[in-house]
Amino acid sequence: MKDLFLAIQDFFVNVAFAPLDMLRELELENWVMANGINWLFVIICMAAMVYWMLQLKKFDSNNEEDKSISSHSFL
């Protein structure tokens, strides 16, 4: 049973977290490169937000949304 837990430890320490160790070492040399993945996520989120706003504007301009005010049927 102890070998199983040691195998799990070995996998995560030497394989799964190896890219994070690489980023940690890269940060000491070049901050911009180490944070490049963060900038990539920011750019993707900004593009998604712009696309979403453009889609909302398109549907609002076409008057496709039902804006009638009504209460629940049980009231």
Domain containing 12: what range? 2-60
With a cut of 80, say whether residue 69 has pLDDT above it. no
Who contacts 33 (Cβ-Cβ below 8 Å, separation ≥6)? Answer: 26
Give Rg (Cα) of the chain: 25
Q: Is residue 51 part of a domain?
A: yes
Q: Is residue 12 part of a domain?
A: yes
With a cut of 80, say whether residue 67 has pLDDT above it. no
pLDDT tens-place string over residues 11-36: 999 999 998 898 888 888 988 888 98
d(CA 11, CA 4): 11
Q: Is residue 65 part of a domain?
A: no
Q: Would you say 34 and 25 are in contact if contact means Cβ atoms under 8 Å apart?
A: no
Q: Is residue 75 part of a domain?
A: no
Specify the number of domains making up the chain.
1
With a cut of 70, say whether residue 74 has pLDDT above it. no
Q: Enter the pTM of the model.
A: 0.57
